[in-house]
Structure 1
């Protein structure tokens, strides 16, 4: 896949979905050979997909998972029980095809592309790895801004360009995943400011913490929050975000600008979606929320975005695993529009 990161990139103008058309789409689905409403929320998903695709058929079948990886300087404050080196180790595991995301991708027939957004370490060259490293991990946001304005802008633009290139290469569903030790701490800060919500309500165990570890994590996150009182979306992103989170936000904007659904995974991907929607509100219409994460704070993001996820499996791994499990539901909902007969055709013997 080839693409360029435009230096003059700007937040795109995204066309909101036509709600009158959505009502027409609902009427069309009600007329299918089934009792109205009998397929529950799959019908809601079909309405969304049909409205996104119009006037083309809703033939959403070819999915790509983008796993964005980056490290966080905030880990210096002890927000995770795992060292930053685990990020690079997991990227190598994805590239070897041996991570949970790879297994779920194989089961769901989804291609995986891994993006080095800002891993604090060198990675081997691999055909499925895009090296877009902005820097080797963010700065420690408890002490200074995580990113410069230029770095945050470049990360957004890169995510947008990557999603756009995947779509141009044939993907019609973009799924988002991530890997980055410390990124639940970064996400908690983003959600705190952008939802907005009380900070302690946004802080969860992440990859696993005992009580002393949680005390360190809370203290570090509060220290970061007390350092800066920014509330504007781009400023919040550069002060507290991660490079992988910024690229996911850009990818969500890229999918929406090309009128393609973007499947949002769990807490961290949802924090990225929150950034994207705060930057360009109409992007919300193109987001499909895969699952309700067990990570504390995810319900806050979902409420802020008025989102009802498709699945509730007590998962909190990340990597795009929940998004991968939701992709077959998008394919099924798409086929409800394109493959299922109208009830009138059945009753009048035209089938």
Structure 2
């Protein structure tokens, strides 16, 4: 995979010249100018476009939920929310429809038998992961298969003409998996990586941290894929594979919140160049996400206190990304508009 830093510096200078000579003071469109530059470099053109933006929501269950109170919600909420996605009733459905974003729902490993549906991508690896207080969440073979399926799904979406993709997730217990992954990849203590998830009390949070510390003590791995197999959910691992493939295809990646960012940490450990293709949609209200963003040296677009997941932050950020491309392509230059430049 190539890195944007290694692209033609002449092109970067041409992009900056084009931006600077729009009818505005230099730098006055702030972060939009950075986004326009990044997407132009990704697409290797002075006239980039956002084509068929798509958000893919991956869903999976986590074995730890059956035996330990890491979430105040029961496991069956995962499958119930997938049904809600398919019927159009969730926040991600509302925001995707509003912003004209295509939405795909993937069963990565939900502990439920869904009826056949044209609206559900069946990529089930297993009926949820194993309880990682007892053993690894998945086998190495299952991990590799999840990565491959994530890549396969992205390749199929890319073939339809999509060049901008965001990821969302659903899985009761997946903030626990994300906290463990974050701690493993950033080397931060679990206390700096663990939040209340779907609504724990302070007492519940402390109990969750103690449970996860016990999990951490039972697993030793330094390789990225081994870490994913130990702690990941099938939805998280599939997102890691999707991120790697989307970057390989030179797509623009819109990164959502805490869970998706944990999948990015794994992808980044496998190939550091993936960050060149990432636009960070927002700072999550989930504790630990700011530390995660700092580790990745990320500058998110929005800070709305969101902690829902589902890809909602990505869906809200895509109109801003479209605006960045539109000003670059459609805004007049000083010369074309007959406006005098600064002396």
Structure 1 residue 62 displacement after superposition: 1.7
SS of the equivalent of 2:167 reads: strand
Partner of 1:44: 34
Matched residue SS, 1:130? strand
Q: Which residue of 1 aligns with 2:58?
A: 68
Residue 172 of structure 1 is matched in structure 2 by 163
1:202 matched residue in structure 2: 193
> What is the CA RMSD across the aligned residues, in angstroms?
1.4
Partner of 2:49: 59
Contact 1:267/1:298 (<8 A) preserved: yes
2:84 counterpart of 1:84: no
Distance 2:199 2:64 in 1: 16
TM-score (norm. length: structure 2): 0.95
Segments of structure 2 that go 5 or more residues without pairing to the other structure are: none
Is 1:34 the counterpart of 2:21 in the alignment?
no
Contact preservation (8 Å) 2:147, 2:237? yes
Please tell me whether the aligned partners of residues 177 and 321 of structure 1 are also in contact (alpha carbons under 8 angstroms): yes
Q: Are 1:285 and 2:283 counterparts?
A: no
> Is contact 1:112–1:128 with CA below 8 Å preserved after alignment?
no
Q: Which residue of 2 aligns with 1:272?
A: 263
- Per-residue CA deviation, residues 103-142 of structure 1 (Å, 9 max, x unaligned), is 1111111111000000011112222210100011111112
Find the residue that maps to 1:66 and give its secondary structure: strand
2:14 and 2:46 in contact (8 A); partners too: no
* 1:190 equivalent in structure 2: 181
Shift of 1:73: 0.9
1:291-349 CA-to-partner distances (Å, cap 9, x unmatched) read 00010110111011110100000010000011000011111111122212222322379
Separation in 1, partners of 2:145, 2:48: 32
- Report the 3-state secondary structure (helix = DSSP H, G, I; strand = E; otherwise coil) of the residue aligned with 1:307: coil
CA distance in 2, matches of 1:224, 1:343: 61
Q: Secondary structure at the match of 2:113?
A: coil
Kept in 1, the 8 Å contact 2:111–2:127? The answer is: yes
User: How many equivalent residue pairs?
Assistant: 336
Counterparts in 2 of 1:103-142, with a 5 A limit?
Answer: 103-142=94-133
Tell me the residue number matched to 1:328. 319
Is 1:227 paired with 2:218?
yes
Give the TM-score taking structure 1 as reference length: 0.93
